[in-house]
Structures are given as structure tokens and as C-alpha cells.
Structure 1
Amino acid sequence: MFFISIININRYKFNTFQPFYIQLNCNSTLCNNNSNNILDSFLKDNKLKPVYLYENLHLDETRKTILKNTKDLSGIYLIFNKITGDYYIGSAATNRFYARFSNHLLYFRGSKILKNAVRKYNLSNFVFLILELFPEIVNKENNKKLLDLEDFYLKSLLPNYNILTEAGSSFGYKHTELDRIKMNMNYSIQRRELIGNLNRNKNIPIETRLKMKEKALARKKISFSEQGLLNMKKNSKAIILYNLDYTIFGEYLSIVEAAKSINCSEKTIRRALKTEKKILKRRFIVKYKE
């Protein structure tokens, strides 16, 4: 039998924001004291003072509480595995805490490492914590401050569920378009080398090898100048993603960049751009930048 219980908030020292600790407790035959000790030790050892802490994430009641309590808030969150002590750290823009929670733990649209862990250990053994609230409404101008705050926690706590060791961006600045073009070129070279390695053990006649060598030497090497790469970038149109309340979620140099940032296909974005309301994935409004 499950019931809601407000935990004594004096158990932790919180920051200047309103302290709140909520836990959906199970009866004593189901609770795992050892897992709670792992969480307590983690918070104590790292001197963390969470603003919000939610357990029993598998319950609908918990999810509704998270949605209600985090409305219009932004800041840094942590997802903790009570069995292994592993954890994930991320940042959420204004009114995006629940989206981050649901994407990572319900829909598995975030970290693959975290997704596999939830499937292995069960959602009931994870905790969702909000470590610190960001004091401003997040926009394009102050988003860097939020990322700096996230970067501080990443480098201080070194979470092993995070693939990146440096804060990413909610506003599409993970890579510039020039970087993406260069990475695609490098990938093509690596792929050719891989195919070459697979063929090295095959017995190819000497005459055939000589012909292949002649053709390879005669082939012109393709290289692009910085200006050429910039010209490629100019062929793509910049777009802006809005939340449904028309606050800016992110600005991107191309559809490709936006698609990778929100983990959807380019075709999905192009279809949304052609519609009258331009609704994308029931979560965003997408428009070309004028």
C-alpha cells in the first residue's frame, strides 16, 4: 500500500530557494534501507543540498507532483540510481524540468546509458533530484549562465551516466555547422579505412593491385577551403524552435542541426514547416528565422 509522506526538511540544509522534499513511501516489507543509505551517503559525501527530491518515480502520483511543483522553474537536476550509486546530471530551461524527467526516464529519448540502466534496475529504484534552481527565466542571452552552472556540477561530481563531460546546450550550440561538415568529411575517411581493413586479408592478384594503385593516384583529392565550407553553410536556412507558449527553445543554423538536437528526423521538421500551425512533435513551434 502506497501513501504520500512529507519528509522532515531539517534533514538537509537547503539553498535560498524554498526547500521541499517529497517521497512516496512503500510499506516496510518493500522498502530497501540499503538503497536509501546509498543515496544519503552520496548527498552527505558531496555536501549536496537538493531543493526537490522525488522517489517512486514509477507512480503516476509522483509524476503529477513533479509536473506541478516544477512549473516555470529552471536549473540543474540529477537522476540517481539507488542500487548502484550511479547518476546523471543535466540542466533544464524554464518550465522544462518535467520534459527532461519524462524524456530520460519514461520515453528514453535522452542518454542511452541511462536508458539501459533504467531498463535493468527498474524505474522504482531511481530518484529525481533538483540540485539548484536558476534565478532567471532562461532565454538565448542568459542560457550560457545555466550551462556554466551545469558544467560546474558535471566537473565537480563527474557523473558516470553522462556521455559528455562538458555541458551541452538547450539552444542548439553543441556544434557549429562548419564543425558538422568537417566531421562528416572525417567520417567518410574513417569509413574508407575500415573497409580497407576488412579487405586486407583477401588475396588480390598483383596485376589488380597495380591497376587499383594507378587509379587511386590519378584520383583528385577533394579539399574545401574555409570559404567553401561557409558557402555550404549558407545554402541551409536557420530555424527557430519555440515552446508552445512561444518562449524560445533554441535557434539553429539548419534543419539538420535542429533535428539532431531534439532527436527527430529532418523530414519531421520539414513537414511541420509546411503546415499552417507549424507544430512539431506536439511540443514545439518551428519557424524559419527571418
Structure 2
Amino acid sequence: MNHLVLPLKIAICWKLLTIILLGYIIYSVKMYNFEQSAGNQRIKKIILVGTSETTRDPRTINTGRYSPWNQNLLKQSYNHNFIFNKNTIRFYSTSNVENNTKDLHPLKTYENFKENRLAILKEQKDKSGVYCLINRINGNAYVGSSIHLASRMRNYLNNTFLKSKQNINMPIVKALLKYNQESFTLLILEYVEPDYLTIRETYYITYVMPHYNVLKQGYSSLGYKHTEETKELLSELAKNRTHSEETKGLIARALTGENNPFYNKSHSIESKVRMIEAKSAYPVYVYNSYKKLLVIFPSVSTLAKLIQSNNSTIIDVIKEQTIFRGEWYFTNLPYDINNTPIISNWTSSKECEQLILNINNSSHIRKAVFVYDNNKNFLCKYEGVTKAQDALNINHSTIKKHAKLGSAYNGYIFSYERLIK
């Protein structure tokens, strides 16, 4: 059996050698792929460098960016046993990011991000695109994209939003807080349809190689849908959830003053009308005592506020179809679908203002009494039963009785409504 030992040992050695060679080849391929995936980042044996999908930690001992001017410094630091965090050192072709942005041709430039706040929010409203923030102090840049550019910029201008727990560790957020928004210039690089945002953002990130970007590719959750299980879980978590007093205070401060999206703004008349109509259950048609359509108000609450009344009173008048303050009818449906209101614009016309004034001046009238002769010729309208009693020398209870029935007494016909021949 001894004559078999030597060939067996040789075979085992060959197998081990083959395994070692295969391992070396696989390792080389992995290193090559890693270097390719790192994009424009330069990999050096003496310095560990991560991809750009990393976060920077301010507690690291040393950070640096590769350039022909600081290459020797980095090597020297390494030789002196400085500890380099592999997640913090990023290498670019130059040391000044401004050189990477000077060839950009933005559609719109806002030199002072903070001072141009109002113009930015107005001009970028409802627009989707790619933007670039440039720090004028050190030249560093950030490239991003959003389907709502105005909303994104509003967040960047809101320090309370920036200081929130979920945002405070982002490099661009730290820069905005450190240098202030006044130190940044905003470039609107391109307006893009939402479906192509990620592609165009990645293009500009690759072109500019911005210092503040954590990811070296554009990322968006646009179009992502939660699974049914996740939806159920989120629903359960949201049930019975209440904000603490501290959270309520933070929310209030986040929406105070300049941070409020409606700061220094007011709704137009058209917007107010649309909001009223959206909240209203039905419009209110206003007729005079002759049953002529005067004007249409968008809601009960709108009319109640203008004539110094309350919603329940107007609703009762609509339901019972009684005359209001001796002269007006309110309905939620027109008496005649073909009727056209005499006053077409209730918001700003002088006729409507006069109508509202007349209704308010009649607030002391509860039930007016219309008096006719036996031939139903109109004689007079009294502001109440007492006034009619004094003028006609007829007991007020008698007037009430006949006014309810619209009947005649002592040569007069009494009614709480105008009799139309």
C-alpha cells in the first residue's frame, strides 16, 4: 500500500493549488467589479474608500477628497497612523466642485436661495424637475429632483423641517443649517416628467459629482406600492395614534411665521367662492315678496354671515317657506328653473351690497302684515301686528287671526304674505 501514498499526496497538492488559484481569480474579479461600481471614485490600496451610497459622520477623525493637490497629504496622514473612515472619504477629479457646475446651463438661476424665496415658490409651483443647490462659500453642490419643486424648496427653507430627526443627518441639510440658506444659489436644471426624473437626476449627478449627494444615482419611490400586508400594518399603527404635547408644539412652531406655506398670502375672491361651494350642501336662492329671483348665494353659512343671522334660522325659513323679515323668501331650489337672478354677482356688485343692507336694516321685523281692500288692491305693509293695530284701530289678536287665514275683516284683507293677482 505504501506505493500508493506518494501519488495520493501529489493529487491532494494539485487540488489545493487549483482551489487557491480559483479563489485568487474570483477575488480579482470581485475587486474589479467593485472598482467599476464606484464610478468616478478612485480606489487606492492604502486608503479604504466606500461607494457614494454612504453617510458622512462628523465624528470621524479625518475626511478628505482626492485631488492632485491633496493626494500627498492623504498619504502622509495615513503613514502617521491617522484613522480613515471608509465611509467618509470621496475622490473626485478636482478639488473644487464649482469647476463641475460652471458648464451647466440652467433654465432658471436664483442667486440667493433665501432672498428669492417668494419668486421660487411662485415660479416653481406645480412643476417637476431636477435642481442643483450650490454653496457659494466653498463651491460644494447638491443635485436633487422632485415632482413638486416648490414644495421641496419650501422644506429646504424651513429650519424646523431641516432639524427634524429624519433629516438632520443629511449632508445637504447640515450644510444649509451651517452656512444658512442665504449662502446657496439654486439652479433649476431641467423640467422633467415624473417618469423620467430618476434618469435625469442620475445624469446630472454623474456629470456634476456633487459633494453633498449621498447616493451616486438618482433615487425615487415614485410608483412604489405597498403590499396589502404592509397597508394593514400601517393602518393598525395609525389607529388611536395621538400626538404628544411636545409634538404638537413642534408642529405649531414648524408652521409659524415664514415657515407657514400661506405666509403673507391671501385667497382671491374666486378661490373663496370655490371653497364655499365645495363645502356647501346646496345654494340659497333669494326671492323678494313678489317671488322674483334676486340673487343666488353659494351656501347657507355665507348668507347667514352677511345678513347677521344664523344657519338654523335660515334653514327653518327654507323648510317652512315663510317670508323672512317681511320681504324675502329663501329656497334651496328655484321656483322656476328658467329664472335668472337680477343680481348675477353676489361678491362685489353694488346691487348685492344694497340688498344685504336692506335685509340687515329689517332685522327688527319678525312678521310683517300686508293689508288689502276687498278687491285685493294693496293698501299698506306694516312692520308688525302692533303697528297695524295702531294704524287701523283693530285689535291685534283679530289681525293675527285673519292674517293667518288671509281672510277679510271690516273691509280689509290681512295676510302675512303679499297677495299676487
Would the TM-score normalized by the shorter structure come out above 0.5? no
Q: Which has the higher contact order (CA 8 A, sep 6+)?
A: 1
Instruction: Tell me the TM-score normalized by structure 1.
Output: 0.42
